[in-house]
Amino acid sequence: MENPCIFDVGEDSFDERVLEASRRVPVLVDFWAEWCGPCRALTPLLDDIVAHYRGDVLLAKVDTERERRLALDHGIRSLPTVMLYKDARVVDHFMGLQPESVIREMLDRHVARESDRARTRAAELARGGDIAAALELLEEARRNDPENHRVVPDLAALLLENGDIDEAERVIAALPLDKREEEEVVALCARMEFARLALEAPPAGELRQALDGGDANPELRYMLAMRHASEGNYEDALANLLTVLERDRRFRDGAARRAMVDIFGILGSTHALVEEYRPRMARAMF
């Protein structure tokens, strides 16, 4: 049975079936030729992938032997070349025969999914204070679309915000290893570690009182830093961690330095606090 989401296009139909259609859903354009072996291998793979998205992405095929002007206009120099159109412009592309995982990863960056719409709605609910409804929506999105790994950090972050560290850790642990190494997830894991350490710490008031009273125990200052970090008060956390580092670089086998690096990862390299404290940390270390 012919799939209406997969079709041939030429110069006379490209504007309507690709450019205009891409304002509604992303359109994948496959520039191919009959004599091209990798093109023939790629064709069934693209067909299967696009069928999986059930109308959320279209596949337009351009036979470059018949549509030479169209290929020339698009600067096609090697085959196969595949371009992804969205809002009437090219937003991504690849050349040559690629594995299914690479193609799906590219599409997932641009194709709207019902689970992504659920993520947006959950964020709105959470901002409005309805954490329970937001969690329920994200759990349902994860069940219905387990391949959308973008749902998991959202769910884990909300669980962490709700104080359920154990469940947040379990959710992240279920991610594939390569997804756990992504910057957003690494930063979230650091936040979970801060929250875990803060649970072991005395109340912040007691810690500040002891330190103001002249107690120089680095453990107290480190615990206060964990309290601050778990609350998102990274400026005070960094200030206390730097003090620990300056007084004892080997404290807890370098725990203060590691915590500072984790905070840098959460904030991002261009954040003002990172630009201030990274050189100060280096001076304390060396």
Which residues are part of the catalytic machinery? 36, 39
**Cross-sheet strand order for the sheet of 58-63:** 6-8, 58-63, 27-32, 81-86, 89-95
Q: Which residue stretches of the chain are H helix?
A: 14, 37-52, 68-73, 100-108, 114-127, 131-144, 151-161, 165-173, 177-180, 183-199, 204-212, 218-230, 234-247, 255-267, 272-285
Instruction: Using CB atoms within 10 Å of the CB of residue 48, give its burial: 0 to 12 exposed, 13 to 18 middle, 19+ buried.
Output: exposed
Q: Residue 218 and residue 223: Cα distance in Å, rounded?
A: 9
274, 199 Cβ separation under 8 angstroms: no
66, 10 Cβ separation under 8 angstroms: yes
Q: Residue 259 and residue 238: Cα distance in Å, rounded?
A: 8
What would the two tokens of residue 19 be? Answer: 């450019």
Those residues with Cβ within 8 angstroms of residue 227's Cβ, 6 or more apart along the chain or in another chain: 198, 201, 204, 207
Q: Residue 31 and residue 82: Cα distance in Å, rounded?
A: 6
